Structure 1
Amino acid sequence: MELSNKSEYALLALLELAARYTSGESLQIRQMSVLQDIPNRYLEQLLATLRRGGLIKSIRGARGGYVLARDPRTITLLDAVSCMEGLEAIAPEVDTNTTHLESQLIQEVWHEACQAANAVLQKYTLQDLCDRRTAHGNKDLMYYI
């Protein structure tokens, strides 16, 4: 299993929006692009997908941009990844019509592995990522005398 660039970039953009959720500050595409080093054009496409998926909202006007559609404590990483990749990629079905027993066994194990990965992604929210980023940032600021 591998995290696609599409999902990783989407999570990075969502993380920036989650960090600003309590202040209500919106972020423009160019700001997110610079903060997370994501190409503008690609980011536009990702944000459109996230908006259609109901995870973010766009705000028009001079101070417009993007904000999270709901509290970062309620948006799981599975929500974000499934929005970007589609449900078929998140929960592949086991093909019981295979003629080889070994192929079916491999598919069953793969399905089980996907379910375990999904359980982990369901467990973590955008707020958890924000908290981890803060904790890691605080480690860098430790002063010794």
Structure 2
Amino acid sequence: MEISSKNEYAILALIELASHYASGEPLQIRQISAQQQIPDRYLEQLLATLRRCGLVRSQRGAKGGYILAREPWKINLLEVMHCLEGNDAQSADSHVVPKTLESAVILDVWQEAHQAANAVLQQCTLQDLCEKCSARRQLDIMYYI
């Protein structure tokens, strides 16, 4: 299983918004883009999709930008992926009719792996990712001392 660029960029943008959630200040696209090295135009499209799904809110005006629509500990990665890829991406394999016994066994294992991955993604929130980033930064600082 691989993470798509679309999912990676969206999650990076959400981590940036989550890390500034406590301040209550919206972040502008150029700020998120510069901090996370995401192309501006692509980020605009991703944030529009995330807004339609209710994961972020936008504020207009000179001090406008984007802010999380809910607390970072209430947004999990599975929800983000469903927003970007839709629920249909997951259920594509469920309509496959295996042609052989071996194919059926392989499909069963693949579905188990998919369910396990979904369970991990559902348990991991934006807050968890922010905490992991902070812990890694601390390790990096200690390593260089």
Do the two structures share a fold, i.e. TM-score over 0.5? Answer: yes
Distance 2:29 2:144 in 1: 39
Q: Which amino acid aligns with 2:140?
A: D
CA drift of 1:143 comes to: 7.9
* Structure 1 residue ranges, 4+ long, deviating more than 4 angstroms after superposition: none
CA drift of 1:91 comes to: 4.4
Q: What stretches of structure 1 of length at least 5 have no aligned partner?
A: none
The answer to whether the Cα contact below 8 Å between 1:91 and 1:115 also exists between their aligned partners in 2 is no
Q: Does 1:105 pair with 2:97?
A: no
Structure 1 partner of 2:17: 17
SS at the partner of 1:35? helix
Distance 2:127 2:110 in 1: 29
Identify if the C-alpha distance between structure 1 residues 67 and 98 changes in structure 2 by more than 3 Å, giving closer, same or farther. same
Give the length in aligned residue pairs: 145
Distance 1:12 1:144 in 2: 25
CA drift of 1:137 comes to: 1.0
Distance 1:122 1:69 in 2: 18
Tell me which moved more, 20-29 or 96-105: 96-105
Distance 1:98 1:75 in 2: 36
Structure 2 partner of 1:137: 137
CA RMSD across the alignment: 1.8
Tell me which moved more, 86-95 or 70-79: 86-95
Q: Does 1:2 pair with 2:2?
A: yes
Q: Which has the higher helix share?
A: 2
SS at the partner of 1:73? helix
Distance 2:99 2:90 in 1: 25
Distance 2:52 2:6 in 1: 15
Structure 2 partner of 1:41: 41
Identify if the C-alpha distance between structure 1 residues 103 and 143 changes in structure 2 by more than 3 Å, giving closer, same or farther. closer
**TM-score, normalising length: structure 1:** 0.92
The answer to whether the Cα contact below 8 Å between 1:56 and 1:68 also exists between their aligned partners in 2 is yes
